Structure 1
Amino acid sequence: MLSRRKFIAASGATLALSLVSPKKASAQSLRLRRDLTTMAPNDLFFQQYAEAIARMHQLPERDPRSWRNQAIIHANFCPHGTLDFLQWHRHYLTFFEQICGQLIGEPNFALAYWNWSNRRGRIPEPFFADNPLNVEFWNDPSNYNSSNWGPINTVGIRGLTENIGVQDFRGGDVFTEDEIERIRRNSNFNLFSAELEGTPHNLGHVLLGATNSSPPFGHMYNGLSPLDPIFWLHHCNVDRIWAEWQAAGNTTPSNSTEYNRQFVNAEGDLVRVTANDARDFTAMGFTYETTLSDLTSPIVLTLEGTELDAPLGFLPEFFASADVGVQELGKADNTEVSQVDTATSISVQANNLLTNLFGSHTFRTNSFLGTPRIAVEGDRILAVLKNITPPSATDDAIVVEIFVNCPYLSATTPSNDPHYAGTFSFFGQHKQGMGKPEFVIDITDPLRYLAEKGLLVDNLVNIQLLPLAVVPEGRKQASFKVETIEIIRA
């Protein structure tokens, strides 16, 4: 008899049940957003996007569609660390995309997404050539005082070159396809959104903008980040991952937040939309290469690449036995301030850790021929970092690596160490009037490693925070404090 424990191994093998895709709008009626990193250098997209940027720069200063005024929308209104982070930015991208199409006379113009997981996250060469795609081509000033961000003083430079991608930096593992897929498997919207924003989104902004150890930073580091043409394609990738999560059958909860007169349409008219209006991306007129599929498939059971036959009566019993929902396992408070190159350890007593670590849960995926499926994997254990006092706006740019129960942790401990869990960074967290941020880190892999070695003692989990300067040769002056850590099963 095939038992549940034998079927779902701790290695993360999955059982998958295909779902019939709902009928989608015709692809011919939608603007198609493609992968920037797979485009040929002579792809028409580069020419059209450069033309749109140039035309925006030529618009009168009073025109709300101008390049600078579009960036000011972000500085004045963008939400970060909130439950409508994804919705607001989807509207922002879509109206910008329509403005581009209007100005160049191409109503079907579509933005592209910068796929961090391909080519080690390198930005294509046209964005470094002497043309409108290069942020240095324009030398746009920031010098703006926003009620949302406060004073903004950034410059038109980037921390990447055509030969260096985001995966080449410390913490760059968060941009790999494996890590992105790990985030997509979280069926809880709040946790999914927090992970997506706090890790690849934030880190992308910081690595591109932190060209120096201390201010002034590049535009991507602060509220006027849309002055860099790569901003829009960075956020297109964030939106693409959300769209894939949605296409798999996951549900974005209702959010009635209104964005009244924050955005302008292609004609430059102020519009009124809500967060709920952003939940259906096809209704907004666009889709992605990765969300186009009308395929259906039979029930497939997969265990490490091997197709197995299973009695139909086994499936309801299996899904019923898979744990669902989020459960708090433990919580601890902290008073220590974290400093660059120095680890801060916060001990959390996690109840029934081993039982929850090797349980199972369902999630939704469309990884089989693009067709939505229900799948089962081992439970994930997450650390939720709460009530954080972030670095000040004048501190050095940092990334924060998370380790678990590492007895020899130092600033030189590599991110391929088995105690390593993940990385986050701060972007927008020091905005004026913003509440204290939270970050979500998946600590499952180091916990399973410790369990296999017999090193999980008394359900005690030591979450270790290691801040590192993005530019190691700098001042290394930055500090923050995490007041509370919760360990949850999801």
Structure 2
Amino acid sequence: MGNRKSVAALTTTEKANFVAAVKALKAQTTGRNYDWFVRTHMTYFSTVSGIRYAHQSPSFLPWHRQYLTEFENALKAHNPAVDLPYWDWTVSRTTTGAPFTSDFMGGNGQNGNGPVTTGPFAGATNWRINVSSTTSTSLRRAMGGTLPTSTQVNQVLGYSTYDASPWSSSTSSGMRNRMEGFLAPNIHNSVHVWIGGHMAQQDSPNDPVFFLHHANIDRLWSRWQTTWGFGTNRYLPGGNTTGVLDVNEVMQPFGNTVTSVLDHRASFTYV
């Protein structure tokens, strides 16, 4: 069982191992390499065959949980000791602290929405963008604005209902749409906007910070589940709902059901 740690608690060796595994996955030329994950997120960002899988739907959280698991397993194929860390942006809130240090994710972009200039992912030679909705071949960031607070997070985690009709970005109640960020206090979306650059686009996984951010979103969902329950009755909708995934339906392109990822505790824990 893996232990997912805060980026602020990583040792120098753990940071180096994570960066090396990410770069090895990027250099991989067959199978589910790094660019496969970028392409997959771009594909499932919108409706596929009439179903909203990854965003603006109840499956936002389970789909990304499986997506993170697939990514973590791909990293472990290069180094079994690597676990996916999370970035708790309610604690680490600066553009120069964890995870944006020169030995890990690197810092801000140049001159506002420009190329990252420090760290192992700076410049197209170190980290070339191959799959994107824009033409930039260097990773871009434009950090600034407002990050969610612990008070706002606790507010969202206090909603006992997972989701509600119409099961979309216009849903006016429940936890999921508040966590995703289309309903105040706008948790997930605001972090993408705060980082800017590639993170503010559909090809946001081009920035490795994507996975640290989503690991934290998943950690918060696990906190919600600890309070309100891990069972299938804690995911809505339950059945016969058009355009979104019911609890027993299959998440594409992974091939497993929503039910299969609801209780993650036998596979990994957050520490």
Determine if the alignment matches structure 1 residue 282 to structure 2 residue 249: no
Q: What is the CA–CA distance in structure 2 between the aligned matches of 1:54 and 1:143, rounded to whole Å?
A: 15
Determine if the alignment matches structure 1 residue 257 to structure 2 residue 249: yes
Instruction: From the superposition, tell whether residues 246 and 136 of structure 1 become closer, same or farther in structure 2 (CA, over 3 Å).
Output: farther
Q: What is the CA–CA distance in structure 2 between the aligned matches of 1:288 and 1:99, rounded to whole Å?
A: 19
| Candidates 201, 204, 216, aligned match of 2:191 | 204
Question: What residue is the counterpart of 1:33 in the other structure?
Answer: 4
Q: What is the CA–CA distance in structure 2 between the aligned matches of 1:152 and 1:83, rounded to whole Å?
A: 29
Q: Which runs of 5+ in 2 are unaligned?
A: 46-53, 108-117, 164-173, 239-246
Q: Secondary structure at the match of 2:31?
A: coil
Q: How does 1:360-375 map to 2 (within 5 A)?
A: none
Instruction: From the superposition, tell whether residues 141 and 252 of structure 1 become closer, same or farther in structure 2 (CA, over 3 Å).
Output: same
Determine if the alignment matches structure 1 residue 128 to structure 2 residue 106: yes
Q: Which runs of 5+ in 1 are unaligned?
A: 1-29, 145-150, 161-165, 210-217, 264-271, 290-490
Cα pair 1:50 1:133 within 8 Å, conserved: no
Q: How does 1:406-425 map to 2 (within 5 A)?
A: none
Instruction: From the superposition, tell whether residues 181 and 135 of structure 1 become closer, same or farther in structure 2 (CA, over 3 Å).
Output: farther
Question: What residue is the counterpart of 1:273 in the other structure?
Answer: 256
Please give the per-residue CA displacement for 1:227-258, whole angstroms capped at 9, x wherever unaligned: 11100000000000000111123323452231
Instruction: From the superposition, tell whether residues 220 and 51 of structure 1 become closer, same or farther in structure 2 (CA, over 3 Å).
Output: same
Q: What is the CA–CA distance in structure 2 between the aligned matches of 1:280 and 1:219, rounded to whole Å?
A: 31
Percent identity, aligned pairs only? Answer: 25
TM-score (norm 2): 0.74
Question: What residue is the counterpart of 1:157 in the other structure?
Answer: 140
Determine if the alignment matches structure 1 residue 58 to structure 2 residue 58: no
TM-score (norm 1): 0.42
Question: What residue is the counterpart of 1:229 in the other structure?
Answer: 208
Q: Which amino acid aligns with 1:243?
A: S
Question: What residue is the counterpart of 1:239 in the other structure?
Answer: 218
Q: What is the CA–CA distance in structure 2 between the aligned matches of 1:278 and 1:128, rounded to whole Å?
A: 32
Cα pair 1:75 1:224 within 8 Å, conserved: yes
The alpha carbon displacement at 1:177 in A equals 1.1
Q: Which amino acid aligns with 2:78?
A: L
User: In proportion to residue count, which structure has more helix?
Assistant: 2
Q: What is the CA–CA distance in structure 2 between the aligned matches of 1:143 and 1:71, rounded to whole Å?
A: 7
Q: Which amino acid aligns with 1:241?
A: L
The alpha carbon displacement at 1:225 in A equals 0.8
The alpha carbon displacement at 1:137 in A equals 6.3
Question: What residue is the counterpart of 1:117 in the other structure?
Answer: 90
Q: Secondary structure at the match of 1:57?
A: helix
Q: Secondary structure at the match of 2:175?
A: helix
Q: What is the CA–CA distance in structure 2 between the aligned matches of 1:51 and 1:31, rounded to whole Å?
A: 18
Q: How does 1:90-101 map to 2 (within 5 A)?
A: 90-101=65-76
Instruction: From the superposition, tell whether residues 139 and 55 of structure 1 become closer, same or farther in structure 2 (CA, over 3 Å).
Output: closer
Instruction: From the superposition, tell whether residues 177 and 134 of structure 1 become closer, same or farther in structure 2 (CA, over 3 Å).
Output: farther
4+ runs deviating over 4 angstroms: 133-137, 151-155
Determine if the alignment matches structure 1 residue 179 to structure 2 residue 152: yes
Cα pair 2:121 2:127 within 8 Å, conserved: no
The alpha carbon displacement at 1:120 in A equals 2.4
Question: What residue is the counterpart of 1:424 in the other structure?
Answer: none
Cα pair 2:87 2:213 within 8 Å, conserved: yes
- For the pair shown, the structure with the greater C-alpha radius of gyration is 1
| Candidates 177, 189, 200, aligned match of 1:194 | 177
Q: What is the CA–CA distance in structure 1 between the aligned matches of 2:21 and 2:212, rounded to whole Å?
A: 14
The alpha carbon displacement at 1:183 in A equals 0.9
Q: Secondary structure at the match of 2:187?
A: helix
Q: Which amino acid aligns with 1:182?
A: Q
Cα pair 1:59 1:66 within 8 Å, conserved: yes
Instruction: From the superposition, tell whether residues 56 and 82 of structure 1 become closer, same or farther in structure 2 (CA, over 3 Å).
Output: same
Question: What residue is the counterpart of 1:248 in the other structure?
Answer: 227
Q: Which amino acid aligns with 2:248?
A: S
Instruction: From the superposition, tell whether residues 77 and 231 of structure 1 become closer, same or farther in structure 2 (CA, over 3 Å).
Output: same
Q: What is the CA–CA distance in structure 2 between the aligned matches of 1:259 and 1:75, rounded to whole Å?
A: 15
Q: What is the CA–CA distance in structure 2 between the aligned matches of 1:136 and 1:81, rounded to whole Å?
A: 32
Q: CA RMSD in A?
A: 2.3
Q: What is the CA–CA distance in structure 1 between the aligned matches of 2:123 and 2:150, rounded to whole Å?
A: 27
Q: Which amino acid aligns with 1:186?
A: Y
Q: Which amino acid aligns with 1:116?
A: W
Q: How does 1:3-18 map to 2 (within 5 A)?
A: none
Q: What is the CA–CA distance in structure 1 between the aligned matches of 2:124 and 2:210, rounded to whole Å?
A: 14
Instruction: From the superposition, tell whether residues 33 and 117 of structure 1 become closer, same or farther in structure 2 (CA, over 3 Å).
Output: same
Q: How does 1:287-306 map to 2 (within 5 A)?
A: 287-289=269-271
Q: What is the CA–CA distance in structure 1 between the aligned matches of 2:216 and 2:194, rounded to whole Å?
A: 16
The alpha carbon displacement at 1:57 in A equals 2.0
User: In proportion to residue count, which structure has more strand?
Assistant: 1
Instruction: From the superposition, tell whether residues 281 and 244 of structure 1 become closer, same or farther in structure 2 (CA, over 3 Å).
Output: same
